[in-house]
């Protein structure tokens, strides 16, 4: 394997994500959510909303650990502790450097972000519903690999634009480990 990304422990990442294939998928997912998540952290910090700030940096800590960016994960953990301690001053001081380090991974992750596969399966309501129920189970078991896998299967169905948008949102929730929002959306879809 010739993946070489500065600051990322590839072996640990493969163990954390379950397989090399899932690790590579995860890199693409992280690439897609980087800007949005970083912007949210900055917005919540600007608004002095430490509760939401803490939720976001917690998610980024988990994300970094999943992809083997252990040092960065520790830095986000520090930010999370500052948020929980309501230490706005230190959070304001430390956050920009941590986010810069996170964003500096972007060019290294870009090659993993291309999906290239559009929907191809004929829509089958029963099979689709069964997958949604399996996805709920996977999320309840915190089985990231299975959740990602099932989401990819759901995305392979051809469906109308409205459902396609919802699936895209669901994919984002699963990738971002936003499991509560994912479960809520799954229940709506069922």
Map tokens 């301690």 to a residue. 85
The answer on pLDDT for 73 being more than 80 is yes
- The number of domains in the chain is 2
pLDDT, position 126: 87
Query: Within this chain, do residues 76 and 26 fall inside the same structural domain, yes or no?
Result: yes
Asked whether residue 118 is assigned to any structural domain, the reply reads no
**Residues 17 and 107 reside in one and the same domain:** yes
> 30 and 83: one domain?
yes
Domain boundary among 52, 85, 112: 112
The yes-or-no verdict on residue 23 having pLDDT over 70 is: yes
User: How far apart (Å, rounded) are the C-alpha atoms in residues 173 and 190?
Assistant: 17
Within-domain flag for 159 = yes
Q: Are 57 and 175 in contact (CB under 8 A)?
A: no
Evaluate whether residue 90 is within a structural domain: yes
Residues 105 and 130 in one domain: no
CATH of the domain at 61: 1.20.120
Burial class (CB in 10 A: 0-12, 13-18, 19+), 187: exposed
Last residue of a domain, one of 49, 81, 112: 112
Query: For residue 119, is it within any domain?
Result: no
Domain that holds residue 23: 10-112
In-domain check, residue 117: no
Asked whether residue 96 carries a pLDDT value surpassing 90, the answer given is: yes
Same domain, 99 and 28: yes
pLDDT at 25 over 70: yes
The DSSP-derived string for 132-187 is HHHHHHHHHTT-HHHHHHHHHHHHTB---HHHHHHHHHHHHHHHTT-HHHHHHHHH
Tell which of 85, 112, 139 closes a domain. 112
The arithmetic mean of pLDDT across residues 9-25, rounded, is 86
> Is the pTM above the cut of 0.85?
no
Q: Which residues pair with 184 in a beta bridge?
A: none
**b/e per residue 103-135 (b: at least 16 CB within 10 A):** eebeebbeebeeeeeeeeeeeeeeebeebbebb
Same domain for 78 and 135?
no
In a domain, 53, yes or no: yes
């Amino acid at each position: 394997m010739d993946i070489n990304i500065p600051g990322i422990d590839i072996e640990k990442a493969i163990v954390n994500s379950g397989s090399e294939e899932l690790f590579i998928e995860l890199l693409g997912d992280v690439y897609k959510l980087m800007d949005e998540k970083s912007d949210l952290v900055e917005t919540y910090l600007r608004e002095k909303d430490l509760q939401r700030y803490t939720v976001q940096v917690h998610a980024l800590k988990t994300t970094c650990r999943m992809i083997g960016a252990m040092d960065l994960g520790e830095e986000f953990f520090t930010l999370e502790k500052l948020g929980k301690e309501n230490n706005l001053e230190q959070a304001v001081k430390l956050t920009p450097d941590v986010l810069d380090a996170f964003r500096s991974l972007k060019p290294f992750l870009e090659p993993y972000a291309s999906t290239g596969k559009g929907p191809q399966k004929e829509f089958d309501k029963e099979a689709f519903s069964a997958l949604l129920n399996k996805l709920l189970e996977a999320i309840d078991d915190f089985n990231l690999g299975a959740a990602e896998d099932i989401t990819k299967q759901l995305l392979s169905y051809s469906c109308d634009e409205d459902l396609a948008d919802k699936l895209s949102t669901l994919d984002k929730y699963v990738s971002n480990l936003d499991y509560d929002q994912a479960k809520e959306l799954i229940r709506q879809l069922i």
